[in-house]
Structures are given as structure tokens and as C-alpha cells.
Structure 1
Amino acid sequence: MSAKKEKNATFSLVSGTIAGAIEGAATYPTEYVKTRLQLQAGGKLSPGELRFNGPIDCLVKTIRTHGVLAIYTGMSALVIGNAAKAGVRFLAYDKIADALRDKDGKLTGSRNVLAGLCAGMTEAVLVVTPSETIKTKLIHDRNSPNPQYRGLIHGTTTIIKNEGFGGVYRGVFPVMMRQGANSAVRFTSYSTLKAQAQKWRGQGDAPLPSTHTFGIGALAGIITVYSTMPLDVVKTRMQGLDARNLYKNSLDCLLKVVKQDGIFSLWKGTTPRLARLIFSGGIVFTVYEKIYGILDSKAA
């Protein structure tokens, strides 16, 4: 990678937060479908709970049974969490990457992976685990025979009241592993592809057109999905309402899911997650680059 000036921390945080909020709201239905499919992987259905044969079947049955708004259950938790985690992710990545650059301002491939890994684990601990645990529990509860949560605030306070703060940090280890792997793969893929695109255009570090940025971000999303899907499935199962009674830890969860549903169940929900991360990667990197560019130009 070519030499770059150090990123402004405030601009990174603001740009990432805005990009995360927009991406989360735009792609939430795919996240809902993915979560519902994963909650069934290796688990027993509750009385009256719907059985889905795939993402389209899940979408149709959910809307037919509970209405269109049901596919937005838990969205507020994810959008708020997504905004916060994207802000933390870009801030952490930019600052760590700057610290790892050599004296010429260049970032090697291995150091790029390390920066992404550290950024992902940082966002997992600070933001992702609690927001995704709450989102998963809200979705699981909404589709149970006797829902107990009336919304984000009521659900969060009830979870904390019944389970303590540990209740919103369920599955922290697989979340850290997934987010670390996600960011390492996504940032490395994006940075590598972006550098190649800039090289082909022969314009150095000049900003790429939005269409190029979206395409590169989408491709980075595809690579990320297939390489980290098993971690995502374990994360979701560990955050379900019945996780405490079913699994001793993440490894126990992994083994039980594979034993009951087979190795390919670790890629359960790949289609909706793929749909989300293709658009997610395109949206979040494009919005981030645009917002950061605007803030940086006004400060110049």
C-alpha cells in the first residue's frame, strides 16, 4: 500500500457511525431472516414455532403470520449497535493501522490483517456483543408462543433483571472471534482491492468513484461471509433464549450443532447474510469514504 497521511480520529468516528446507521437500517430484513434460520440450526422448535425451509420461506411465513413489521423486530437494537460498532471499527482500524505503518507510511499485508483483527475484537467487546445479544433475544422471543418482551427498552431491562449484565454478553467469545475475523478479512480484502483499483487507474491515492467503492466493498463482503460463517452460526445459537440450558460453551455449541444437523449447518443463513454483506460492504465503505472526504475537505 502507498504512503498515506494519518487519519483524523474524530472524522473516522463520525463517518463510521453515520455509515453504520445507514447500512443497518437498509439491510435489516436480511439480518432478521439470517437470525431466524440460525436459531433453528441444531435446536428444537418450541410448540407453535414456525419451521422454515429457506430464506424466502422464512420471509413469506413470517409476513403471513405476524405481518410485515415482524421482519423489523429488533431493528432498533441493531441500528443503534451498528452505528456505534462501525464508528468504533473505523476509528480503531485507522488508529491501529497508522500505528503499524513503517517509516515510509506503508502498511504491509500482515499488519493490515492485524489492524483489522484488533479493530474487530475492540468493537465486539464494546458494542457488538450486547447489541446483537439483545437483537437475537428479541427476535427469538417475538417468534415464541408467549412473547415476553414489549420492545427494545423493556426487553433490555428484563434481560438484565433476569440474567444480570452477563445476559447481554452471552456469546462474547464467538462474537470476538467472528468480529475479529470479519474485520481482518473485510479490511484486508477492501484495502487490497482498492489499492489495485487505484493502481489500474494510475491516479495514486486519489479517491475512487462511488461505483468502484461500492463494488469493491461488495466483493469484500462476499469473501468475508464464506470465510466466517461458522463463527456467526455459533454466535447466534449462543445468544438464543435457551442457550444457557443447551450449551456449556462455544465449543459445546459447535459440536452439538454439527452432530445434530451436520457440518453444512454451520453455513446456515449464508444466503441472507451474503445478501446483507454484499450491500453492507458496498454501502458502509462508500458512505464512510464520502463522509470522511467531505469532513476532511472542509477542515483543510
Structure 2
Amino acid sequence: MFSSFKVKVKMQKQNTDVHGIKYRSGLHCTARVLQTEGVKGLYRGATSSFLGVAFESSLLFGIYSQIKQSLEGGLQSGKPQSSVIIPSAAIGGGIISFVLCPSELVKCRMQVLGTDSLVPKSSRYNGPLDCALKTFKTEGVTGIFRGGFTTLLRESIGNAVFFSTYESVRYYMHLQLKDASSNQNNLTDVGVGIMSGGLSGIAFWSAVLPFDVAKTIIQTAPDRNSTRNPFQILKSIYRRSGLKGCYTGLGPTIVRAFPANAAAIVTWELAVKILGVKRE
């Protein structure tokens, strides 16, 4: 699934450039990467991403659950409450953006600048650690957190959409299954987890992919003084390429979103059940 991230980032960087469309589709981009960089090229920058995602996911679900429980005051009505879910998810997303920003910056720079033949060899990266150190040395702490505001917007808005969709789909699916049959087993729970998680992942990226496009451009811009304003960047892309440009990389992102988030939700719900945490 990481290879789809690689394709997404390459498409976002190259297809929104002033020089025009470089990749016709996600499949075309994948073929070009395989041709020029080999299979290894599809997984360039994976280390930092895996570490960041693993820590971010556990942190996000933990923060969301705790804030949601506090806002509910111990009283669970059963039916999802937007007034509880949205702030819980938005706060959780905002917090984890500080973890995601540096790891995604390293990942994006490794994927876009690390192998670019137009970039001088002295500016290329030997690995994630080398990328992080060079960024810190040349740009300082602000360089490591370049694109932080855009990441915060993506994560706070995106997770509000994600958990609202998840809680609603989960609630209504269980309600329908309860009415249809009283025999709800572990297999049923897994099925609900797959559907609610997969649909939530699609909802997340459909809502905030333009911010992700802007973040990729901000984090991989060679000019240190280039704008970090995501709205200014998106306005420029929209002027050149329309709404389609703002959603560059949607195909490979959606392909990854359903299975990845379905697996995340099923794993989370299994962990909750094993730990004996009560849910409505």
C-alpha cells in the first residue's frame, strides 16, 4: 500500500507544476517509477512513513477516545453525537499533525527530490536520517516543520470527517443487523469494521486531498522562501488546472484508503474488545 503513497506524491508534485501534466494517470506514474527507479523506488522513504504512521495511529485513536469520553461525561446515548465526535476528532487530528509533519516531509523529499536527476548530487539524500539532518542543518526547526499549518488543517478537518463517517456507518449498520438478526458474532463485527473503516478512509481523503496536494508542494519546494500558504497555492493550481488539479492523485489515494483504513478500524476494535473497554 505504501507504493500508492509514492505515486500520489509524485503526481501531486509533477502534475501541478507550471510545466504541465507529466503523468497521465496513477498507472502511468507507477510504470515510469518502475522504469526509472525499479521496485525499490516505489518504497523510497518508507521507513519514516511507517514509523510516523504507527505512532500517529495509536496516538490519534487514544486521544480521540479519551476526549470523546470526557465530553460525553460518562453518559453514552448510543446514537452518534456530532457535538462530541467532531471536536474530539479535530483536536486529536491537530495534535498528531505535529508528529506527522516531520515524517511526511522526509518521506516527500525522499520520493521527489532524492532521485531527481535535476537535483545536484550534493543535495540528494542517502536515506531518511540523512534527509532529516540535511533539512535541519540548512533550514533549522522551521524547516523540519515546513507545511505544519497545512498538515494541521488536513488532519483536524479530515479526522472530523473520518470519525463522523465511521461512528455513523458503524451505528446504523449495527442497528440494521440487530433488527435483522439477534445473532451478531465476531465475523459480523469484522464486516462492520471493514465497511465503516473503508468508507471513512474514502470520506477523509475526498474532503481534504487538496490540502494534501498543497502540503506536498510546500514540503518539496526547492526555494526556501516560497509561500507556505495552502490557499494561495490551491488558488494558483485551480487557475491552471481547475478542480481536477486540486485533486491530483485521487485515484491511487482512494485505492489505498479503503483497505488501509478498514484494517486500521478492525485492528482498533479488536484491541478495544481484548482490553475489555466498554463501548456503546
State TM-score, norm by structure 2: 0.88
By how many angstroms is 1:254 displaced? 1.9
Distance in 2 (alpha carbons) for counterparts of 1:103 and 1:29: 42
Structure 1 gap segments, 5+ residues each: 1-26
Distance in 2 (alpha carbons) for counterparts of 1:64 and 1:142: 16
* Alignment partner, residue 218 of structure 2: 238
Contact 1:160–1:167 (Cα < 8 Å) also in 2: yes
Question: Counterparts in 2 of 1:19-98, with a 5 A limit?
Answer: 27-44=1-18, 51-98=22-69
* Alignment partner, residue 21 of structure 1: none
Structure 1 residues 92 and 204 mapped into 2: Cα distance closer, same or farther (>3 Å)? farther
State TM-score, norm by structure 1: 0.82
* Alignment partner, residue 124 of structure 1: 97
2:263 is the alignment partner of 1:283: yes
Deviates most, 96-105 or 278-287:
96-105
Contact 1:41–1:261 (Cα < 8 Å) also in 2: no
- Partner secondary structure for residue 232 of structure 2: helix
Structure 2 gap segments, 5+ residues each: none
What is the identity, as a one-letter code, of the residue corresponding to 1:62?
V
Contact 2:4–2:252 (Cα < 8 Å) also in 1: yes
* Alignment partner, residue 228 of structure 1: 208
Distance in 2 (alpha carbons) for counterparts of 1:155 and 1:37: 21
What is the identity, as a one-letter code, of the residue corresponding to 1:249?
N
Distance in 2 (alpha carbons) for counterparts of 1:54 and 1:245: 31
By how many angstroms is 1:216 displaced? 1.6
Structure 1 residues 238 and 205 mapped into 2: Cα distance closer, same or farther (>3 Å)? farther
* Alignment partner, residue 257 of structure 1: 237
Aligned residues: 266
By how many angstroms is 1:183 displaced? 0.8
* Alignment partner, residue 111 of structure 2: 139
By how many angstroms is 1:88 displaced? 1.2
Among 180, 187, 205, the residue aligned to 2:156: 180
By how many angstroms is 1:194 displaced? 0.6
What is the identity, as a one-letter code, of the residue corresponding to 1:113?
I
* Alignment partner, residue 109 of structure 1: 82
Structure 1 residues 260 and 246 mapped into 2: Cα distance closer, same or farther (>3 Å)? farther
Contact 1:141–1:241 (Cα < 8 Å) also in 2: no
- Identity across matched positions, percent: 22
2:125 is the alignment partner of 1:149: yes
* Alignment partner, residue 275 of structure 2: 295
Relative contact order, higher structure (CA 8 A, sep 6+) = 1
